[in-house]
């Protein structure tokens, strides 16, 4: 499984140093919040750009903003690799995902815990990644919602049946236990914020996640 430490729980005064602590993770997960789609306000493309020279990892940008299409050009220029937009924030979902791809980035669709998989079926053939939120977005440190597991399985089944190869990412409440549930259900990428950056040695938490993500029989 790929790991995507979320800098939402890192020290905002020292972000470059913080991402250095998780250099062996595949992705860096960057939560962009606008104080509108969610109450919290974090950072935008400028911070993505400022961090870019400090990491060669995949920058996985999760947009919790209304009108995400207005931010895509700036994110491309900033060096974003994957851009995720919420189904709930995108009235013209297909167009927005196509624009992300046309800009040369990977396109991701994100669904909240209460949103069913069926509503994103029309775009599954064009996305590179699907993010199934395993908590309601906006805050770190929340409890993993077990009822999202059936959606992960449903997506994995759809992917297999239609011979598609998008990644299935999970985000919210991931630790060394919940990652096992997500992996078993079919997730291929796990975001973890407070579990990783809440520890003195983030790298030890990454190792624990990797252990948890090893298939158990
Ligand atoms: C929540 C964000 C998450 C957050 C996860 O809205 O999308 O990426 O950082 O935090 P944890 O891992 O602490 O639940
Ligand atoms: Zn996120």
> Among 149, 146, 141, 129, which Cα is nearest to 62's?
129
Quick check: 99 pLDDT over 80? yes
Q: How far apart are CA 11 and CA 197, in angstroms?
A: 8
Q: How far apart are CA 47 and CA 75, in angstroms?
A: 10
Residues in contact with ligand 1 (CB, 6 Å cut-off): 6, 8-9, 29, 31, 62, 135, 137-142, 171-174, 191-195
pLDDT of residue 215: 58
* Active-site choice (24, 60, 171, 176): 171
Write out pLDDT tens, residues 167-200: 999 999 999 999 999 999 999 999 999 999 999 9
- Label residue 164 exposed, middle or buried (CB < 10 Å: 0-12, 13-18, 19+): middle
pLDDT of residue 216: 55
* Active-site choice (31, 34, 60, 128): 31
Mean per-residue pLDDT, 194-212: 97
Mean per-residue pLDDT, 81-91: 98
Pocket test for ligand 1, best of 139, 176, 212 (most atoms within 8 A of CB): 139
Coil, helix or strand for 50? helix
Full-prediction pTM beyond 0.85? yes
Tell me, in angstroms, the distance from the centre of ligand 2 to residue 199's CA: 19
Domains of the chain: 2-212 (3.20.20.70)
Distance of CA 187 to the CA centre of its chain: 12
Do you know the residue count of the chain? 217
Annotation says 128 is catalytic: no
DSSP one-letter code for 27: E
> Which of the ligands is closest to the CA of residue 62?
2
Annotation says 171 is catalytic: yes
Tell me, in angstroms, the distance from the centre of ligand 2 to residue 87's CA: 14
């Amino acid at each position: 499984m790929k790991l995507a430490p979320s800098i939402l729980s890192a020290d905002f005064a020292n972000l470059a140093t913080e991402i250095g602590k998780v250099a062996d993770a595949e992705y860096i997960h960057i939560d962009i919040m606008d104080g509108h789609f969610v109450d919290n306000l974090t950072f935008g493309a400028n911070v993505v750009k400022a961090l870019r020279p400090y990491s060669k990892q995949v920058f996985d940008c999760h947009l919790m903003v209304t009108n995400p299409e207005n931010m895509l050009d700036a994110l491309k220029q900033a060096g974003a690799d994957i851009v995720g937009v919420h189904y709930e924030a995108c009235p013209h979902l297909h167009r927005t995902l196509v624009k992300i791809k046309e800009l040369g980035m990977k396109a991701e669709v994100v669904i909240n815990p209460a949103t069913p998989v069926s509503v994103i079926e029309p775009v599954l053939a064009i996305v590179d990644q699907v993010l199934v939120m395993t908590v309601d977005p906006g805050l770190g440190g929340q409890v993993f919602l077990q009822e999202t597991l059936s959606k992960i399985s449903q997506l994995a089944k759809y992917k297999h049946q239609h011979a598609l190869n998008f990644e299935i990412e999970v985000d919210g409440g991931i630790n060394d236990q919940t990652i096992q549930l997500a992996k078993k259900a079919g997730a291929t990428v796990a975001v973890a914020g407070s579990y990783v950056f809440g520890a003195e040695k983030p790298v030890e938490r990454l190792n624990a996640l990797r252990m948890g993500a090893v298939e158990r029989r």
